[in-house]
Structure 1
Amino acid sequence: MMIDTRMSALAALAGLAACSQPVPPETPPPAIQAQRASPPVTAAPETRRAYFGELHLHTGYSFDAYALMGSRADPDAAYRFGRGEAVTYLGDTVRRSRPLDFMAVTDHSEYLGSFMRIDKEPQGGLAQSKGGKLMASNPLAAALGQLVSVLSGDEPTSAAMDDAMASAWKYEVDTANRYNQPGKFTTFVAYEWTTMQEGKYNLHRNVIFADEGPAAPFTATDSRRPEDLWDFLDAQRAMGIEGLAIPHNSNASGGLMFDWKKSDGRPIDEAYAQQRALNEPLVEVYQHKGQSETSPLLSPEDDFADFERSEALLTGGKGEVNGSFTRQALGRGLVLEKKLGANPFAFGFVGSSDFHNGLSDSAESAYAGNGLNSTDPQVNLPDKAFARQILSQKVDPTGAGAPAANMNRPTDPEALRHTAALLNWSSAGLTGVWAEENTRPAIYAALRRRETFATSGTQLRLRMFGGWNLPGGMMQQAGWVARAYRMGVPMGADLPLRREGNPAPTLLLEAAKDPIGANLDRLQVIKIWLDGEDYKEKVFDVVWSSERQRDPRTGKVPAVKNTVDLATAKYENSVGATMLRALWQDPEFDPAVPAVYYARALEIPTPRWPTLLAVARGLPLPEGIAPTLQERGISSPIWYTPGKGS
């Protein structure tokens, strides 16, 4: 295993850029009874329902949230906000738009809690060390690299920081366990492993544990190689501590996240493919720094690929799209499985926020493109002067005007009210899981088997089953879900073994609108299949709302009516459907060709956050940015491999 020095890891992390808002320390609430133990899940699979959660959130215990963004929130406040309680936020009382079902705080493991330790213990060993004094006097300079030279020649600072990190990890674990309430609100022990190759290419992973976490997290100061993180997870699993890693922001990975090569530059081999598939069964596709499903540069025939694009590197400069998006990775996985017998990119989908103020809300109205990240639109929406600053930015999602060049990074918490993010950054995403109950065992099992879906923030419900000889009309019959589990497989699985004479596989698709959100436009199937030594993709419109007819020339369904009134930032649910269902059979199926399928549900157009902000503050709409969007969700895939099946 390659072990990096503490100093090189900090240098690699110095280019991180994100938005957040400081939160002052709060008095902890009365102790919550720990209810960690849950009985094994024994309910039938047809009892599974959709639960929504957050698996990527930072507080002031993350070095960048504290030093670069000025956040002072702690995990205690994060969990209380996530489960729907009101919290004090820069003197305001704010509340999430609706509670989450499950949640994980994923503070960066590197230098975990060190800055907060100096706040809490100004006379302590870390605060009085050479490095601690630098951190206290100039947090921004320390986080951006000056601490490297201090640590290289100051062992007392290093020892004191190790102690601070150990204490912070214990607090993170204890807080997650304290707020876990089976049946009501599930929390997971978690952290983020944070490596930036060459100081600019994002290869971050969120690490989620099924129950108890390890004695200490594996950090990028231990190693910056993903393979070493997987070795750590394998070793923990052998000791009975189960966990998984979730890559995120592959859109900013410079093509490295889903490269053909390992981190040492050698081609991917079977052992690598098997280890990655075991330890990374999921990937994050929606979050506030852009989506990672696909790009118009990779999917030019996909009319909906141009969505919430942020294809620049997080530290500035134009990003490489090849190797950076999940749809392409699914295709590369088919190529590699044919060659190696194992697929390293056999993942399901999740969505999250990656907010750095400790407060997670995915509503479009709860994001305003500023350092607040989550905003309560009834309480702390940016004032008119700052809103004008936010809305006057010029950005290019392909690389020009990258985040590092467009963000101020003041360390004064109050100043973060006036820190602007990019106009093409997004509101938060969400993870949906199909689970028997709201407990750690049930939700973690859903994550592990990939029965998950990702949304761009909406709480639409999406599910998909696949099988052979599924009878037409079965979705109109009572008990069809139980029958689908018996006769086929849910999303995240391999199709059952195909027998001779079976026709093309059948997919059962269902999408239900967010109960307080927009109606649905359409349901699609995205198919990726092996084509020689490469792959191809195609988007199928399967079922859609209203009386639109498929264009006989192009085969595409026309756009749904846009009901958004840009003068008022309101829309009407006078178009679209509350539910869409379909039984779809692949019309181009070849039993000799491996393929992978996933579903995508689209809502009707609704106002995007810059439009909501402009109207709320009586300002012109910004130029060069879409005033509306179609929120969406995608299901985890179902795979077909000749001669193989579940």
Structure 2
Amino acid sequence: MRKILLSTAAALAVSGAAMGQGGGIAVHPEREAYYGDLHLHTSYSFDAYVLLGTKVDPDAAYRFAKGEPVDVLGQQVRRREPLDFLAVTDHSENIGVAREADIPGSAIAQSAWGRGLQADRKSLSTGFTSDRKGFLELLTKYFLGDKDQPQAVKDVAKSAWEREVSAANHNNQPGKFTAFVAYEWSSLPNGANLHRNVIFKGDKAPSPFSSLDSQNPEKLWDWLDQIRKDGYEALAIPHNANASNGLMYDWNTYEGRPIDLAWALRRAENEPLSEISQNKGQSETIPALSPNDEFADFEVWDTLLVSAQKSKPGGSYVRDALSRGLVLQKALGVNPYKYGIVGASDIHSGLSVSAQQDYPGYASGKPGVPTKEEATAVLNSANGASIANRLRGTSGNLTGIWAESNTRDSLYAGLRRKETFATSGTRLKFRFFGGWNLDSKLVSHGDWVKEAYAKGVPMGGDLPVKPGAAKGPSFAVWAAKDPNSANLDRVQIIKVWEEGGQQKEKIFDVAWSGNRSIDPKTRKLRAVGNTVDLKTGAYDNSIGATELKTVWRDPEFDPKHLAAYYVRVLEIPTPRWSTLLAIANQLPLPKSVALTEQQRGWSSPIWYTPKK
């Protein structure tokens, strides 16, 4: 089985992790982009251990993320490019318990609960040939079951959480690698995904609040409010809104009441960020919500996570949430969905991989790429069911944080101020500033970033009050390709706004490669082309650009309407992981998923509020 290889470029220099002279921590006054994963599961997560047979523990997960070689099931694996930061977010529900139940002589193995789990698992296989129905029965009984667990279960969970915290602290290396203490709260009412990842700022954390305590996110916020009084700073990040059946960004509260001011304030305080894309699909938008968006049909996962039931589109996607938030702000004075953007993997093998060529197919706890037999099972799995259809998953996504240094304090501050972006796995690098008097040639200035910070606000910020003479806001955008990936196709600015209580959106192509132009009739930019060879999986960078930059002014600005703007950067087409898997194993190309895709990045928005 092929090893996951570290690239030559990454071996020579880890982006954003360089130490300053004399061994001190490097500090970047104009901030640097740091790349990482805020959502990863190990053998301490019930589903990872029971369904996938995952053996990687939190310590090994952090070491793999740092670029160290890790031995997994007798194979040595190493990440293609080290990450700058990682949060292991194992499910808090019965954390570490299933793993402990397999240890002969342990208290949990000898308990009635543990013996029941072992008996029920006898007929359940793991990995690529998992019994989905049997797993769901186990999940309901042992993971989402009665909150009144035996004391032995509670003791094991407490010990496992202490080891999670210890692993993060042991692997944290200020200036080189940041390991966040974190976990996942896993509410799943009637199959609708309302999960949140809880990220702590410091090196200590209380025992997690889980969905066994409550499936209501408001109760999670209560707990976060309480622990802050006890000295613990943390935030929650919703994920997989695409599978929430419209509940993640609903017009109503969890209990069905219309959102009021107090609820809006509490959500905005506790959840400043939302995951826009990950292993189980993207949550930006889909064609049903954005029919005029030619790039909306990307990694669509439009069912619930544990069944083939369709997830209600409205209230399930970030773009929709951003405009809903503006409508609610107009009515309440506060925007509960004022989200910054992050990406993640949510991979359950303990190995956070983000390159398409390293992804083995959803539902595997094994390292490397699958064997031909396993690849055949993956490529033939398109049966519509979420867990069984492994073709629907994709490689891990990444969060980018603009911060002064690679430390917990600096990166957490970046998360809180929402100066963040997401990518579908590549290390795209881009800046986004907004202001009222940005020079049209700003991005050509040698010190343009310093000037942009002085005269405007970065991604995640609010435009200052509009000066009386200003006609409209202008936005400075700069994007550079991943040195180890594909060239850039285009940069888009996506605008959402509120008008008469209605949600509005429009997409603007603002910078692009080549000598293309926008068709005056269709208002669309001609496609960049496609160099992928479907026989070999190779592509070349003979099209596209290595860098794109511009200053764009909104030509349709109306000062009366609340608005938000975010950037989407698109690469030229490259082969999807499933295409590469088929080619490597001389198997037929899959027909149910795209053969090539345009990998991409999304920025946090910049918001405009009319002067009262």
TM-score (norm 2): 0.91
Structure-1 residue corresponding to 2:256: 265
Kindly report which structure 2 residues correspond to 1:41-52, keeping only aligned pairs within 5 A, or say none: 45-46=29-30, 48-52=31-35
1:365 aligns with 2:365: no
Instruction: Select 1:301's aligned residue among 286, 292, 295.
Output: 292
Structure-2 residue corresponding to 1:490: 458
Measured in 2, the distance between the counterparts of 1:90 and 1:148 equals 25
Structure-2 residue corresponding to 1:7: none
Instruction: Select 2:495's aligned residue among 520, 523, 527.
Output: 527
1:356 aligns with 2:348: yes
Kept after mapping to 1: 8 A contact 2:363/2:390? no
User: Percent identity at matched positions?
Assistant: 54
Kept after mapping to 1: 8 A contact 2:322/2:338? yes
Measured in 2, the distance between the counterparts of 1:148 and 1:53 equals 28
Measured in 2, the distance between the counterparts of 1:194 and 1:486 equals 41
Kindly report which structure 2 residues correspond to 1:434-453, keeping only aligned pairs within 5 A, or say none: 434-453=402-421
1:213 offset after TM fit, Å?
A: 3.5
Kept after mapping to 2: 8 A contact 1:366/1:374? no
CA offsets 1:99-139 (integer angstroms, 9 cap, x no match): 0000010000010111222234x323222111111123334
Kindly report which structure 2 residues correspond to 1:232-631, keeping only aligned pairs within 5 A, or say none: 232-316=223-307, 317-372=309-364, 376=368, 381-394=369-382, 401-404=384-387, 407=388, 421-631=389-599
1:66 offset after TM fit, Å?
A: 1.3
Q: Point out where structure 1 has 5 or more consecutive residues left out of the alignment.
A: 1-39, 396-400, 408-420
Secondary structure, counterpart of 1:202 in structure 2: coil
1:92 offset after TM fit, Å?
A: 1.3
Kept after mapping to 2: 8 A contact 1:57/1:104? yes
Structure-1 residue corresponding to 2:160: 168
Structure-2 residue corresponding to 1:135: 117
Kept after mapping to 2: 8 A contact 1:191/1:207? yes
Kept after mapping to 2: 8 A contact 1:489/1:495? yes
Measured in 2, the distance between the counterparts of 1:181 and 1:466 equals 34
1:622 offset after TM fit, Å?
A: 1.2
Measured in 1, the distance between the counterparts of 2:205 and 2:144 equals 30
Structure-1 residue corresponding to 2:18: none
1:45 offset after TM fit, Å?
A: 4.3
Measured in 2, the distance between the counterparts of 1:299 and 1:290 equals 16
Kept after mapping to 1: 8 A contact 2:52/2:365? no
CA 1:374 to 1:329, structure 2 compared with 1: closer, same or farther past 3 Å?
farther
Measured in 1, the distance between the counterparts of 2:146 and 2:315 equals 35
CA 1:474 to 1:386, structure 2 compared with 1: closer, same or farther past 3 Å?
same
What number of residue pairs does the alignment pair up? 575
Structure-1 residue corresponding to 2:207: 216
Measured in 1, the distance between the counterparts of 2:179 and 2:342 equals 16
Instruction: Select 2:89's aligned residue among 106, 112, 117.
Output: 106
Kept after mapping to 2: 8 A contact 1:131/1:151? no
Measured in 2, the distance between the counterparts of 1:616 and 1:529 equals 46
Structure-1 residue corresponding to 2:610: 642
1:611 offset after TM fit, Å?
A: 1.1
Q: Point out where structure 2 has 5 or more consecutive residues left out of the alignment.
A: 1-23, 125-133
Structure-2 residue corresponding to 1:125: 107
1:471 offset after TM fit, Å?
A: 1.3
CA 1:564 to 1:151, structure 2 compared with 1: closer, same or farther past 3 Å?
closer
CA 1:43 to 1:144, structure 2 compared with 1: closer, same or farther past 3 Å?
closer
Structure 2: which amino acid aligns with 1:137?
Answer: A
Measured in 2, the distance between the counterparts of 1:187 and 1:119 equals 28
Measured in 2, the distance between the counterparts of 1:535 and 1:149 equals 36
1:194 offset after TM fit, Å?
A: 0.4
Measured in 2, the distance between the counterparts of 1:174 and 1:385 equals 39
Secondary structure, counterpart of 1:350 in structure 2: strand
1:375 offset after TM fit, Å?
A: 5.0
Structure-1 residue corresponding to 2:129: none
CA 1:149 to 1:546, structure 2 compared with 1: closer, same or farther past 3 Å?
closer
Secondary structure, counterpart of 1:598 in structure 2: strand
Kindly report which structure 2 residues correspond to 1:12-51, keeping only aligned pairs within 5 A, or say none: 45-46=29-30, 48-51=31-34
TM-score (norm 1): 0.86
Structure-1 residue corresponding to 2:40: 57
CA offsets 1:51-85 (integer angstroms, 9 cap, x no match): 10011000111111112222122101101111111
1:196 aligns with 2:188: yes
